Structure 1
Amino acid sequence: MHLEEALKVMKTQGFKYTKKREAMLQFLIEEDKYTSAKEVYDFMSDDYAGISYDTIYRNLHDFSKIDLLEVTELNGEKKFRFHCSHQHIGHHHHFICTECGATREIRMCPMDYFKEQLSGCEIESHRFEIFGKCEKCLSKK
């Protein structure tokens, strides 16, 4: 999903277009990793003096509710990432660097194993993430 598609989704879900929302989405697209609300706030406050942290956080939460962003918790803090397009790479999961938030797609799903272990149950959804240090962060040490 690209910016234009995200803006259309935002509009169809009843959210008004603003340059600030567009800038937030563009930033998250370019970052291409899990990013904290503070990082988004720091970026936005450069161009939009007076923008509040609450506004940033509320928009991030709203964007995640309409499936534009993925959310995870890393080191006790919520992190946000522009949603992967499943259309292009199919169902997948992520390796997430605990140091910098970089992600890498894992193109297999362990759910077949769990389905065997849970016979008689109906699985409604799942999320699978692997946490560790990426090559760049390991090479810094």
Structure 2
Amino acid sequence: MNIDEAIELLRNKGYKTTGRRKDILAFFEKADGYRTAKDLINYLEETYEGISFDTVYRNLHLYNEVGILETTELNGEKHFRMNCTHHHHHHFICNACGKTKEIVVCPMDEVQQTLANYAIEGHKFEIYGLCPLCKSA
């Protein structure tokens, strides 16, 4: 998802697109992988001195709720990234830097056979480890 798609989605859901909200989107569009709320606050404080944690978390929750951001948990902390909506895939996530690498393999074909009598409503498949840069450091 890019900024224009995200803004359109917000407008379609009846939300305003303020300068601050656009700056949050710009941060995630540039980010290479998952980022924390603290990463976002550090970025926003350059422009919005004294921005509150409440404001940041409210917007992160909104963006996740409407499908702009996706979340994962790394080292006991929630991390966010721009949602990848163009095709179905999964991610390798670096535990050290949060960078992601797309994985096109999906285990759901086998799982659906095993759970044939169940109504599967969604899934998430992630692999965690160290990217080549962090591994060599």
Return the TM-score normalized by structure 2: 0.96
CA apart distance, 1:118: 1.3
Q: What is residue 6 of structure 1 aligned with on the other side?
A: 6
Map 1:34-45 → 2, pairs under 5 A = 34-45=34-45
Q: What is residue 97 of structure 2 aligned with on the other side?
A: 100
Number of aligned positions between the proteins: 137
Among all aligned residue pairs of Structure 1 and Structure 2, give the percentage whose two residues are the same amino acid.
47
Map 1:49-88 → 2, pairs under 5 A = 49-86=49-86
- Corresponding residue to 2:131 among 123, 127, 134: 134
CA apart distance, 1:33: 0.9
Instruction: Give 1:50's aligned amino acid.
Output: G
Return the TM-score normalized by structure 1: 0.94
Instruction: Give 1:43's aligned amino acid.
Output: Y
Pairwise CA RMSD of aligned residues? 0.9
Which stretches in structure 2 are left out of the alignment for 5+ residues? none
CA apart distance, 1:22: 0.2
4+ long deviations beyond 2 Å: none
Counterpart contact for 1:32–1:82, Cα < 8 Å: no
- SS of 2:45's partner is helix
CA apart distance, 1:6: 0.8
C-alpha distance in 2 between matches for 1:116 and 1:4: 39
Query: Given the alignment of the two structures, is residue 113 of structure 1 paired with residue 105 of structure 2, yes or no?
Result: no
C-alpha distance in 2 between matches for 1:115 and 1:22: 39
